[in-house]
Amino acid sequence: MNELKVDISTLRLKNPIMSASGTFGFGYEFMEYYDTSVLGAIVCKGISKEPRRGNYGNRIAEIDGGIINSIGLENPGISEFLEKILPMIKTINTAYIVNILGSDLDEYLYLAEKLSELPRVDAIEVNISCPNVKAGGLSFGKDINLIKDLTRRLRDIFPKPIIIKVSPDLPYIEIAKICRNEGIDAITCINTIQSLLIDVEKKTFFFNNLYGGLSGPAIKPIALRVVYQVAKEVGIPVIGCGGIMSYKDAVEFFMAGATAVQIGTANFTNPLSAYEILKDLMSYLEKNKIHSVSELRIW
C-alpha cells in the first residue's frame, strides 16, 4: 500500500495532484466530468480586488507543443468570489488554494487579509508575474526589494501556508531564497513563459497586448530545470507545474525534486487529465513498490 499524502508545510494534502490556476475554473465547473474532491488540492483562477474583464482581441492560440494565452487575468474580483463562488465550492471535499494577483503591494495585502479568516481557504498562491502599475508596468517579481517587502508583510497577515509562484522570466532563485528566509511555505514552479506570436497573413502581432504566456508540453523541460534548481539550491518545498500531460511527466517532476504537482493545459485537451494522472500515478507506485512520491527524488 502506498502513501499518497504529502505535506505543504502545515497543509496535509490527500495526494500530490492539484489543478493549476486558470485552467480549472473554481473547481466546481469540472464536477460534470468527475468528482474534483479526489484531487489533492484545487488551485482556483487568480483573484484580484476588483473584477477584471481581461484583454480584448485574440486570447488563445494553439501552437506546436502547447498554447499561448493572453487572457489578461480576467476574474470576478474578491467580493463576488466571497459571495457567490465560496458557497459553490463548499461541497468540494479537498484542500482549496486561492491564487491571488495584484497591481501593487496593497492589493496583494488586501486580498490576503480578506482570505485569512476563511476556514474554506487552506492556502494562498501568489502570482507575482503581474505588471506592477506603480513601477510602470514592470513585472512585480522583477523588483527584488518589493518581493522582500511583500513576502514579509504577507507572512504577518496570513497564518496559513503561503505559496509564491514564479516563472523562468523572473530571478527565481533569488526570489525563492527570499521566500525561504521570510518563512514562505512553498514555491510553485512555473507560471507561463512570456512569448511572441506573429500572424503572417495579417502581418501583425497576434495578441493586442503583444506578448502571451506559453504553456503545455513545450515548457516541460524548462519547468523541470526550475523545479530542480529551486528544490536543490534553495531547499524550499516546490510544487511543480508546466507541461504535465501524463503520469510519466508527473513522475519526472517528483524525480527532479517536486513535493506536489499541478496540472494545467492538459485540462483543456482532456478534462479528465488530472484524475487520470492521479490514477495512473497510483498504479505506477504500486507496480514499482514505491511507498511515497518523496522516494522518487533522484538526488
Q: Which residues pair with 202 in a beta bridge?
A: none
Closer to ligand FMN by Cβ: residue 42 or 73 = 73
- By CB under 6 A, how many residues form the interface with ligand FMN? 24
Q: Which three cell numbers stand for residue 89?
A: 465550492
Instruction: Please state, in angstroms and as integers, the Cα–Cα distance from residue 240 to each residue in 13, 37, 130, 212, following that order.
Output: 15, 20, 20, 21
Nearest residue to the partner ligand FMN, using Cβ: 22
Q: Which stretch binds ligand FMN (CB under 6 A): 4-12, 20-28, 177-185, 291-299?
A: 20-28
Instruction: Please state, in angstroms and as integers, the Cα–Cα distance from residue 130 to each residue in 42, 158, 206, 217, following that order.
Output: 21, 20, 20, 23
The total number of residues written for the chain in this structure: 299
Contact indicator for 123, 162 with CB cutoff of 8 Å: yes
Catalytic residue among 44, 130, 179, 241: 130
Q: Which of 99, 103, 132, 273 binds ligand FMN (CB under 6 A)?
A: 99
Backbone angles phi, psi at 222, to 5 degrees: -70, -45
Residue 23 sits in the site that holds ligand FMN (CB under 6 A): yes
Residue 240 sits in the site that holds ligand FMN (CB under 6 A): no
Q: Which of 49, 114, 165, 180 binds ligand FMN (CB under 6 A)?
A: 165
Closer to ligand FMN by Cβ: residue 1 or 227 = 227
Q: Which three cell numbers stand for residue 60?
A: 488563445
Is the bond into 190 cis (omega within 30 degrees of 0)?
yes
CA pair distance 57, 118, nearest whole angstrom: 36
CA pair distance 114, 158, nearest whole angstrom: 9
Residue 282 sits in the site that holds ligand FMN (CB under 6 A): no
| Per-residue H/E/C for 120-147 | CCCEEEEECCCEEHHHCCEEHHHCHHHH
Closer to ligand FMN by Cβ: residue 229 or 265 = 265
Q: Which of 30, 243, 274, 277 binds ligand FMN (CB under 6 A)?
A: 243
Q: Which residues pair with 211 in a beta bridge?
A: 196
Contacts (CB under 6 A) with ligand FMN, residues 54-83 = 67, 69, 71, 73
Residue 103 sits in the site that holds ligand FMN (CB under 6 A): no
Contacts (CB under 6 A) with ligand FMN, residues 105-164 = 127
**Shortest Å distance, C-beta 289 to ligand FMN:** 29
Q: Computed over its alpha carbons, how large is the radius of gyration of the chain?
A: 18
Q: Which of 151, 192, 195, 229 binds ligand FMN (CB under 6 A)?
A: 192
Closer to ligand FMN by Cβ: residue 165 or 180 = 165
The question of whether 179 is a catalytic residue gets the answer: no
Q: Which residues pair with 200 in a beta bridge?
A: none
Any idea which residues carry the catalytic annotation?
130
The footprint of ligand FMN (CB under 6 A) covers 20-23, 45-46, 67, 69, 71, 73, 99, 127, 165, 191-192, 215-216, 219, 241-244, 264-265
